[in-house]
Amino acid sequence: MSNNSQNTFRLRPMERADLDSVLSWFQDVEDLARFDRTTRVPLNTSHAEEFWRDSFTSSDASRKCWFIVESSAGEAVGLAGLESISNINRDAVVAVFVNKAMRRSGVGLRASALVLDLAFRQLGLNRITSYYREDNHHSRDLVAKIGFQIEGTMRQAWFAEGEFQDMVVVGILKSEWMVRRNVLAQELDANPIVTLGPNDCAAWSWPPQIAKV
């Protein structure tokens, strides 16, 4: 793997101190409505603390987990997480958001792959669901690259900018991911690298070392 620290990022558990960075991303009303189906006005600190409060309590760790995508310089550039984790149905909903300046850089794709690895290889889940606004081409391209399958369209389920938009629901099974994972690992360039935990954690990095796939 490359030693270029400028191309190295890591996922780490989200902390309350990260809310300042998150709030700055969610001040753009148009961008917020493109990625979040439920929030239409910018959040203040109190609202953000309430929104993510369960993520900071150990009693809720089995139902959701959120991570900050952090550069080697310690700058937060995005977030990724699992919501609605069900140990009975063995499924969850994945969500990924990347700061505008980092979109199309490959960081979001690699962070998403890491979250899927966590879900399937560590948490024992069997399927992951996601959804996006039909005109959100960033999300459409990312989930397609990962290997999600379109499972349906909820007509006019997303209201934004005075219009109702369709919402596309996608899903991926563990068996599908394990096949796609091998192919994707070889398709991606070596940089950027996103790790889960320490930057030298080769076993939990994307792209992974081919020998470990």
Print pLDDT tens along the chain (213 aa): 344 456 899 999 998 889 888 888 888 888 888 888 887 788 788 877 777 777 776 565 678 899 999 998 999 999 999 999 999 999 999 999 999 888 889 999 999 999 999 999 999 999 999 999 999 999 999 999 999 999 999 999 999 889 999 999 999 999 999 999 999 999 999 889 999 976 667 779 999 865 444
Strands (E), the chain: 8-13, 65-71, 76-86, 91-98, 127-133, 149-160, 163-173, 193-196, 205-206
Angle, alpha carbons 13-148-202 (nearest 5°): 45
Give the pLDDT of residue 107. Answer: 95
Distances from the Cα of 134 to the Cα of 95, 139, 154, 170, angstroms: 16, 9, 10, 12
Give the pLDDT of residue 209. Answer: 64
Neighbours of 196 (CB within 10 A): 19
Give the pLDDT of residue 27. Answer: 83
Neighbours of 86 (CB within 10 A): 14
Instruction: Look at the block and give the residue holding tokens 């699992």.
Output: 82
Give the pLDDT of residue 168. Answer: 98
Strands (E), 5-75: 8-13, 65-71
Distance in angstroms (rounded) separating the CA atoms of residues 67 and 210:
25
Give the pLDDT of residue 118. Answer: 96
80 Cβ contact list (under 8 Å, min separation 6): 11, 66, 67, 69, 94, 95, 96, 97, 108, 111, 112, 114, 115
Give the pLDDT of residue 206. Answer: 94
DSSP assignment, residue 74? S
Distance in angstroms (rounded) separating the CA atoms of residues 213 and 211:
6
Angle, alpha carbons 189-195-199 (nearest 5°): 110
Amino acid (1-letter code) at residue 52? W
Give the pLDDT of residue 200. Answer: 64
